[in-house]
């Protein structure tokens, strides 16, 4: 049953309430279950309280876009690019840059060759 995975994650979180991975897993699970409010809550908790957990920015931005919160998505992508660049995580930076450019309305043809 779908809720068994959710129940396990919630139980784990009770023992480790500040575990970044568990919060991320819960956000992803809630999103999978179409509970966008709870997913949003966990993703926002991560960027506010665990800003170094870089995987959050892409998914939170995409959720904002799905909720027609384009400005929030763009701001999230920008913050994520700043953090991933400072951590020299160029793969994550590149993914964020791609969705950022898309959200801003840039076409693929507008990309520079690197």
pLDDT of residue 106: 85
C-alpha distances out from residue 32 to 25, 28, 40, Å: 10, 6, 12
Assigned CATH class of 2-105: mainly alpha
Residue ranges per structural domain of the chain: 2-105
Q: What is the pTM (predicted TM-score) of this model?
A: 0.87
Mutual orientation of helices 55-66 and 90-104 as an angle, nearest 10°? 20
Cα–Cα distance, 86 to 94 (Å, whole number): 13
Tens digit of each residue's pLDDT (9 = 90 or more) over 36-86:
999 999 999 999 999 999 999 999 999 999 999 999 999 999 999 999 999
**pLDDT, averaged across the chain:** 91
Q: Which of 84, 26, 32 is nearest to 55 (CA)?
A: 84
pLDDT of residue 53: 94
């Amino acid at each position: 049953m779908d809720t068994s995975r959710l129940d396990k994650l919630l139980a784990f979180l009770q023992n480790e309430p500040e575990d970044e991975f568990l919060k991320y897993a819960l956000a992803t699970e809630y999103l999978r279950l179409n509970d966008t409010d709870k997913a949003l809550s966990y993703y926002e908790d991560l960027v506010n309280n665990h800003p170094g957990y870089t995987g959050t920015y892409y998914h939170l931005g995409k959720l904002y876009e799905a909720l027609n919160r384009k400005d929030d998505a763009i701001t999230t992508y920008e913050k994520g690019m700043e953090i991933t660049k400072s951590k020299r995580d160029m793969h994550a930076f590149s993914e964020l840059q791609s969705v950022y450019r898309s959200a801003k309305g840039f076409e693929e043809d507008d990309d520079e060759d690197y």
